[in-house]
């Protein structure tokens, strides 16, 4: 079954204690697409300028990513983001955000995308996320992400959106900021009450929590010897998570969600081994499967 993603497509400039990369292909929808397409057909919706080369689009297509939903604004410039990480890789400083063509973006779904069963609304304005849902026929499973900016400036739209999604995939700070609860148990309960059946809380190198009405599940992050660039880990997690659910044709049953969390964590662990999408681009589903098996050993006692 196909998964549809809408989100940012970017050129990122990133500094970490281990090196720098300039104008690297990135953006939430790109990381998600490379991750999800390991498991299932992936449909990408986003916007780029004429500085986005045809070879980038061809490379995405070669990976089985459908790019008919990528709008190219002639004469426009692609969204650019730049950030810096210190030794605590969970702590990132945004140095600049140039919205460019992203500032006037209104997602337009190609007709062929409307029947997508699985939908991931990556971090964009919640009003745009709602616009996407209004164009869908009857998705089986919808998940979303957000960021501090929208929690501060578009809270009402975000709360409206949460009433229409099945799963939220937030990081720890977002879950706390939106609900005003420090305890993740209470934050998850509050998000359940807003309408989301499953709540995934990402905690960077400390792993990930899943809360459903049936119970809790915790997965560690895969213990890597070297982390190079954590950019896109959250979106790659979401891509692995949703891609796995779509591959299985699963709904929001606990057993599938737990396995999806482990698959998401395994995929994200590859992304952070290199700048941008360099590493995730070269892996196969068998590589992911091997790490998933290691998770079984790490977690059993
Ligand atoms: P993550 O590390 O998973 O939080 O996502 C990193 C990606 O988010 C980068 O590739 C950026 O291009 C993208 N990004 C940064 N700021 C924004 C924003 N305001 N809206 C959408 N995407 C963004």
Question: pLDDT tens, 13-28?
Answer: 999 998 999 999 999 9
Q: What pLDDT does residue 226 have?
A: 87
CB of 276 shorter than 6 A to ligand 1:
no
Report pLDDT for 48.
98
Q: Which of 21, 56, 81 to mutate to test the pocket of ligand 1 (most atoms within 8 A of CB)?
A: 81
pLDDT tens per residue, range 181-240? 999 999 999 999 999 999 999 998 899 999 998 899 999 999 998 888 999 999 999 999
Centre of ligand 1 from the C-alpha of residue 152, in Å:
17
Check if 239 has its Cβ closer than 6 Å to any atom of ligand 1.
Answer: no
pLDDT at residue 91, rounded to an integer: 82
- Identify the structural domains of the chain with CATH numbers, from first to last: 3-299 (3.40.1190.20)
Best residue among 52, 99, 123, 124 to mutate for probing ligand 1, ranked by most atoms within 8 Å of CB: 123
**Residue owning the nearest CA to atom 10 of ligand 1:** 27
Residues contacting residue 38 through CB under 8 Å, at least 6 positions apart? 239, 240, 243, 267, 283, 284, 285, 288
Residue 37 burial (C-beta neighbours within 10 Å; 0-12, 13-18, 19+):
buried
d(CA 272, CA 251): 28
221 near 253, Cβ under 8 Å?
no
Please tell me if the CB atom of residue 233 comes closer than 6 angstroms to any atom of ligand 1: yes
Q: Specify the pLDDT at position 88.
A: 84
Contact 30 CB / ligand 1 (< 6 Å): no
The ligand 1 atom nearest the CA atom of 81: 12
Q: Is 113 in the pocket of ligand 1 (CB under 6 A)?
A: no
How high is the pLDDT of residue 87?
Answer: 85
Ligand 1 and 24: CB distance under 6 A: no
**pLDDT tens for each residue of the chain, 301 residues long:** 999 999 999 999 999 998 999 999 999 999 999 999 999 999 999 999 999 999 999 999 999 999 999 999 999 999 999 999 988 887 889 999 999 999 999 999 999 999 999 999 999 999 999 999 999 999 999 999 999 999 999 999 999 999 999 999 999 999 999 999 999 999 999 999 999 999 999 998 899 999 998 899 999 999 998 888 999 999 999 999 999 999 999 999 999 999 999 999 999 999 999 999 999 999 999 999 999 999 999 998 8
186 CA from centroid of ligand 1 (Å): 27
Q: Whose CA is nearest to atom 1 of ligand 1?
A: 232
């Amino acid at each position: 079954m196909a998964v549809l993603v809408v989100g940012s497509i970017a050129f990122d400039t990133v500094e970490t204690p281990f090196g720098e990369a300039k104008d690297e292909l990135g953006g939430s929808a790109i990381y998600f697409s490379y991750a999800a397409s390991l498991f299932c057909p992936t449909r990408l919706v986003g916007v780029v300028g004429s500085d986005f080369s045809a070879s980038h689009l061809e490379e995405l297509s070669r990976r089985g990513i459908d790019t008919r939903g990528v709008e190219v604004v002639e004469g426009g410039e692609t969204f650019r983001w730049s950030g810096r990480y210190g030794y605590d890789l969970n702590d990132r400083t945004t140095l600049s955000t140039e919205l460019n063509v992203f500032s006037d973006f209104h997602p337009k779904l190609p007709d062929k995308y409307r029947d997508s069963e699985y939908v991931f609304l990556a971090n964009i304005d919640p009003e745009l996320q709602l616009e996407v849902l209004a164009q869908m026929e009857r998705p089986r499973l919808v998940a979303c992400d957000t960021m501090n900016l929208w929690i501060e400036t578009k809270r009402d739209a975000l709360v409206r959106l949460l009433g229409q999604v099945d799963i939220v995939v937030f990081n720890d700070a977002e879950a706390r900021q939106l609900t005003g609860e420090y305890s993740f148990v209470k934050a998850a309960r509050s998000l359940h009450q807003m309408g989301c059946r499953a709540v995934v809380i990402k905690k960077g190198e400390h792993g990930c929590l899943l809360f459903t009405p049936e119970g809790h599940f915790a997965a560690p992050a895969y213990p890597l010897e070297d982390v190079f660039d954590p950019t896109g880990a959250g979106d790659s997690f979401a891509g692995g998570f949703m891609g796995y659910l779509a591959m299985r044709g699963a709904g929001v049953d606990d057993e599938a969600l737990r396995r999806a969390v482990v698959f998401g964590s395994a995929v994200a662990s590859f992304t952070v081994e290199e700048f941008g999408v360099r590493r995730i681009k070269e892996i196969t589903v068998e590589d992911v499967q091997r790490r998933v098996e290691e998770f079984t050993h790490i977690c059993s006692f």
